[in-house]
C-alpha cells in the first residue's frame, strides 16, 4: 500500500456535499486514513468565480499513480465536473499532491503536484495533517513550504 495525499476542492453547488460524495467514492481503491478540516479559500489564477471549499485527505492505495489519476478523474466526472474554462468553476477537483516519495513526470501526470508549494489552499489543510512531511524534491517540510507560500485568504470552516 502506498501513502497518498489528495487535495479536494469545490466551488459550485453544494460544495461540502461534493467533498463528502468524493470521500464516499474513494473506497475500496483508496482507504481514507485522515481528512483535514474544511477551509474556504479565495480562487487563484482565474479569480472571477465563487470561493472554494477545500480539504486534504491522507490515504492508502494499491493503485499505481496512473491508476489513481484515472480513479480520481472518474469520481470528478461522476460528480458533474466539466472543463469549460481552464481553472474555472467546478463541482469537484481532486489533485494528487504526493504518492509516497514518488516523483512522476508524464504527459498527463506530475507528482508531487507541481504547484502545491505555492498554494496556501493546499498547504494549510496539509499542514493540519502532516506539518513535518517532506517534499520529495525540495526536501522542505509542509510547514516550511507554508511559511514561504504567497498570501491567500484561507478561512477555517470546521475542524
DSSP type of residue 113: -
Residue 146's contacts (CB-CB under 8 Å, 6 or more residues apart) are: 120, 123, 124, 127
Number of Cβ within 10 Å of residue 58's Cβ equals 20
d(CA 112, CA 61): 16
Given the residues 93, 101, 115, 147, the one annotated as active site = 93
25 has catalytic annotation: no
Cβ(56)–Cβ(125) under 8 Å? yes
Active site residue 93: yes
- Among residues 81, 101, 115, 155, the one annotated as catalytic is 81
Q: Is 31 a catalytic residue?
A: no
Catalytic annotation, pick one of 15, 25, 95, 119: 95
Q: Which pairing describes strands 30-35 and 38-41: parallel, antiparallel, or unpaired?
A: unpaired
Catalytic: 155?
no
Q: How many CA atoms lie within 13 A of 24 on its CB side?
A: 8
The catalytic position among 15, 90, 119, 120 is 90
Return all residues near 24 (Cβ < 8 A) that are at least 6 apart.
none
| Catalytic residue ranges | 81, 90, 93, 95
Amino acid at each position: 500500500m502506498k501513502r497518498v495525499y489528495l487535495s479536494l476542492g469545490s466551488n459550485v453547488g453544494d460544495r461540502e456535499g461534493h467533498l463528502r460524495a468524493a470521500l464516499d467514492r474513494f473506497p475500496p481503491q483508496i482507504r481514507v486514513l485522515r481528512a483535514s478540516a474544511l477551509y474556504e479559500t479565495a480562487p487563484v489564477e482565474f479569480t472571477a468565480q465563487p470561493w472554494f471549499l477545500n480539504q486534504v485527505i491522507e490515504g492508502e492505495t494499491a493503485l499505481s499513480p496512473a491508476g489513481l489519476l484515472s480513479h480520481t478523474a472518474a469520481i470528478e466526472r461522476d460528480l458533474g465536473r466539466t472543463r469549460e474554462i481552464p481553472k474555472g468553476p467546478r463541482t469537484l477537483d481532486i489533485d494528487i499532491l504526493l504518492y509516497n516519495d514518488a516523483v512522476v513526470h508524464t504527459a498527463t501526470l506530475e507528482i508531487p503536484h507541481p504547484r502545491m508549494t505555492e498554494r496556501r489552499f493546499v498547504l494549510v489543510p496539509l499542514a493540519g495533517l502532516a506539518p513535518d512531511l517532506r517534499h520529495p524534491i525540495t526536501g522542505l517540510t509542509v510547514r516550511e513550504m507554508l511559511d514561504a507560500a504567497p498570501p491567500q485568504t484561507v478561512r477555517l470552516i470546521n475542524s
